[in-house]
Structure 1
Amino acid sequence: MGERGRNPVRRLVVCEVAPKKKADSAMKRARQAEKRRIYNKAKKSEAKTRMRKVFEELDALRKKSDAQSEEILPIEKLIAEAYSAIDKAVKGRALHRNTGAHRKSRLARSKKDVLIHHGWYTPVVTA
């Protein structure tokens, strides 16, 4: 039997093409994105750190049984610093403005909770 009876041998030819080089514009975009990522990460991290410090101080004040109302003043300075860090992150577009508002609201709520807990503030109930 000649060639007809057998399956012809198929040879696979692989043509390797040299990997395409990234376009210069893509490389520049990648560099810019990396710079922005590092910048945004620093801004977000600073805001989180400031918030954490406020929450730690508020927890310590809440647990203190013989706390004085003047002890909230240094915490208010920490809250102001946290607000500033959040606003800077929002301004630089590292955080969405709604996220910034949410975080600021969370700080204010926790401060008010501590004030209510110690009896330094009584919420007004409106009818």
Structure 2
Amino acid sequence: MANSKSALKRIQIAERNRLRNKSYKSAVRTLMKKYLQAVEAYSAEPSTDQMTVVQESMSAAYSKIDKAVKCKVFHRNNGARKKARLARVLKEVAVAS
């Protein structure tokens, strides 16, 4: 247990930040999975409706990744790598069809 007021405060701040980071990371993972499912559905049955769903889910995932980078939950290279992976998946599907 902490012996000083400042140490107690640092523990509280660390816990608050941990929970905030956890929510960002969870949201990013969820949006990435939704995007990958949308791309999979598009590759099975390409249509303009499916493509709009893919674009919307990609936009949401990119937005959340950028916000996480801005809040320093992710390093900027980590955010860039995640966005590049998402773009690569769509590019591979587009080239195949």
Q: By the TM > 0.5 criterion, same fold?
A: yes
In structure 2, relative to structure 1, the CA distance for the partners of 1:63 and 1:53 (3 Å cut) is: same
Report the structure number with the largest CA radius of gyration. Answer: 1
1:46 equivalent in structure 2:
27
Cα offset for 1:107?
A: 0.6
TM-score (norm 2): 0.92
1:79 equivalent in structure 2:
58
2:91 equivalent in structure 1:
112
**In the alignment, structure 1 residue 55 sits paired with structure 2 residue 36:** yes
Q: Deviations over 1:63-122 (max 9, x none)?
A: 33xx2245212210110000000000000001111000000000111111111121xxxx
The runs of 4+ residues in structure 1 deviating greater than 6 Å are: none
Q: Assess if the C-alpha contact under 8 Å between 2:2 and 2:8 holds in 1.
A: no
How large is the RMSD of aligned CA atoms in angstroms? Answer: 1.5
The structure in which a higher percent of residues are helix is: 2
1:16 equivalent in structure 2:
none
Take 1:100 and 1:21, find their aligned partners in 2: how far apart are those partners? 35
Unmatched runs of 5 consecutive residues or more in structure 1: 1-19, 119-127
Take 2:50 and 2:20, find their aligned partners in 1: how far apart are those partners? 35
Q: Of the candidates 64, 71, 76, which is equivalent to residue 92 of structure 1?
A: 71
Unmatched runs of 5 consecutive residues or more in structure 2: none
Q: Assess if the C-alpha contact under 8 Å between 2:38 and 2:50 holds in 1.
A: no
